[in-house]
Amino acid sequence: MLYKKTINYKGISFILLLFIAFFFLNSTVYAGTKEKNIHLWSEEEEEILNSLWIGSLPPLPESPSNRFADNPKAIALGKRVFFDSRFSGNLKVSCVTCHPENMNFADSLPLAHGMGTTRRRTMPLIGVAFQSWLFWDGRKDSLWSQALGPIESPVEHGFTRTQSAIVIIKYYKKEYEEVFGPLPELDIEHLPKNAKPSSEEPAAFKAWLSLTDAQKETINRIYVNMGKAIAAFVRTILPGPSRFDRYVEVLNKDDRTLLNGILTEDEIKGLKLFIGRAKCINCHNGPLFTDGNFHNIGVPQPPNLPPDLGRAEGIPLVLSDEFNCLSKYSDAKRDECSELRFMSTDTKRFRGAFKTPTLRNVAERAPYMHAGQFSSLHEVLHFYRDLPPEKRLPELAHGELTDEELRQLEAFLRSLSGAPIYAK
């Protein structure tokens, strides 16, 4: 009571005024620096931004195991085969069934549908020429040997190498011979059509064993060359520049005022987190946002599917693949097969590990992860944050991310879209 009486109202209003003035001043100063600071990057950060920039994507790497990889006629032939559904058991499935060109070459399904349902999600094809290992488990070491997988898979094309050779001889003789030379003699009228060396289908396997060695070799050669033509086309599928790339391009010029409006403030904050505290570039690095390597990041396996060991399954498969870099169908010298020669064969280490996917165009192709476990980017980011520490790899430690920060990361991921480029 006593205290109240002695209050000096004039004094109070003066202090109040001071406070108001202080806040006002403070907020204008803050806003001013913010405008400038948002584009302020350290030298090291700028280096990282440049390493992610599409401009640092080198020219297409050589493909020593496929000497037709850059042959324009092989590209044209491969493109036709890519779109041709005659290479399937029901005449309905082609590569584009699951890799539609108008959808980033990826369907939007958790699991792909061909003649049946696959056990994994379709992978995007942009920039795949830069990948040393193909498929989620890396069971193939070249694009041409990769292309030969889906054709004979009962749940994809449901076809055989023998049938493929027959389709090539019947419909692609001219185009084939222009690239690979004269087609070898093969009496296609009397071949068992459903013939392939596949232990899953005993009848087809038996039919394959009934062929002479010369016939098998001829069929394999035509089949391999078809794969090399498809690979020549798939190699041309590249990511197009995104808003993120425009931002880095302008950043490399000196006038920073031009940076305004390319990325929103949220997207820039997301980018800062992505290359900083959230540690995403531990794996999503380089201009394709992938290290091309295999990690078990703890994505839960769908309960309705059999357990998937990922890379631990891929290692023995690629080592024993009849079409790998060291096989007689490869054009590479032994020295040129470094990936296979120096591959880590530690299957225990790679149990449940899957290939880091590119994040270019990631917003355009939900669902996510190797079996489409998550239906939105929102779910993916919550997964990364909420993973219990005992399941979190040290390289996934991200400090604790707030909901706000997850939103910013998502905004950044949405700035990575650009129309793919491929051989027309």
Residues at the interface with other proteins (CB under 8 A): 44, 47-48, 51, 281-283, 285-286, 291-293, 338, 341-346, 348-349, 351, 389-395
183 binds, among other proteins, ligand HEC, none (CB under 5 to 8 A by kind): none
391 binds, among other proteins, ligand HEC, none (CB under 5 to 8 A by kind): other proteins
* Interface pattern 148-177 for ligand HEC (x via CB under 6 A): --xx----xx--------------------
Measured from the CB atom, is 112 or 325 closer to ligand HEC? 112
| End-to-end CA gap in the chain | 88
369 binds, among ligand HEC, other proteins, none (CB under 5 to 8 A by kind): ligand HEC
Which residues, 6 or more positions from 256, have their beta carbon under 8 angstroms from its beta carbon? 39
Selected binder of ligand HEC within 54, 129, 230, 318 (CB under 6 A): 230
Tokens of 354: 């899957």
In whole angstroms, give the CA distance from residue 336 to residue 331.
10
Measured from the CB atom, is 8 or 42 closer to other proteins? 42
Residues 110-149, interacting with ligand HEC (CB under 6 A) = 112, 114, 118, 120-123, 125, 128, 131, 134-137, 143, 146-147
What torsion do the CA atoms of 301, 307, 308, 313 make, to the nearest 10 degrees?
Answer: 160
In whole angstroms, give the CA distance from residue 379 to residue 299.
12
Range 378-384, long-range pairs (CB < 8 A, 24+ positions): 378/406, 378/410, 381/406, 381/409, 381/410, 382/406, 383/299, 384/278, 384/297
259 binds, among ligand HEC, other proteins, none (CB under 5 to 8 A by kind): none
346 binds, among other proteins, ligand HEC, none (CB under 5 to 8 A by kind): other proteins
Q: Is 238 in the site for ligand HEC (CB under 6 A)?
A: no
* Interface pattern 59-78 for ligand HEC (x via CB under 6 A): --------------------
Q: Is 295 in the site for ligand HEC (CB under 6 A)?
A: yes
Instruction: Tell me how far, at minimum, the Cβ of 110 lies from other proteins, in Å.
Output: 27
Measured from the CB atom, is 167 or 278 closer to ligand HEC? 278
Query: Which helix (H) or strand (E) element contains residue 355?
Result: strand 354-355
Measured from the CB atom, is 79 or 272 closer to other proteins? 272
DSSP letters of 163-224? HHHHHHHHH-HHHHHHHH-SPPP--GGGS-SS----TT-HHHHHHHHTS-HHHHHHHHHHHH
Which residues, 6 or more positions from 420, have their beta carbon under 8 angstroms from its beta carbon? 101, 104, 105, 126, 237, 238, 239, 240, 361
Beta-bridge mates of residue 113: 117
β-strands 294-295, 354-355 pairing: antiparallel
Interface residues toward ligand HEC, by CB under 6 A = 82, 93, 95, 97-99, 112, 114, 118, 120-123, 125, 128, 131, 134-137, 143, 146-147, 150-151, 156-157, 230, 234, 278-280, 282-284, 295, 297, 299, 354, 356-357, 359, 362, 368-370, 377, 380, 384, 393, 395-396, 398, 409, 413
